[in-house]
Amino acid sequence: MKRVLIVDDSKQVRERLISLLSDYPEIRIVGQAGNGKEALDALDDQKPDTVVLDIRLPGRSGIQLLGKIRTAHPEITIIMLTNYDFEHYRKQCMQMGADYFFNKTLEFEKVVNVLVN
């Protein structure tokens, strides 16, 4: 079973992901966070296998959080899911260790594909 933490400042996005992923018994949503501090607390408490992470977060950017997660938890799969689908962000995230980088508008469903395959 894949244990997933969803980190996005939009409650609507978090709820949409939870709704999509709840149909799959092999996926368990272990937490959600709306900012970097909540995400770091959830990482320690919930021990996810996968983090779905937005770039823009209050308090700490998703890119900063990506670096911190990758350093402290190299085993975690990190899926960047953002509306900021600019090449420089994609390149930076991949260089920092993101496993996937998806555009929220065009590739939302790819998160499901990654998690169930």
* pLDDT, tens digit (0-9, with 9 covering 90-100), for 56-79: 999 889 999 999 999 999 999 999
84 vs 104: CA distance, rounded Å:
9
Q: Where are the alpha helices (DSSP H) in the chain?
A: 11-21, 36-46, 62-72, 87-95, 104-107, 110-116
For residue 32, name the pLDDT band (cuts at 50, 70, 90). Answer: very high
pLDDT at res. 117: 81
Residue 29 has pLDDT above 90, yes or no: yes
pLDDT at res. 7: 97
So where are the chain's domains? 2-109
pLDDT at res. 59: 84
| CATH superfamily name and code, 2-109 | Response regulator (3.40.50.2300)
81 φ, ψ (degrees, to nearest 5): -130, 110
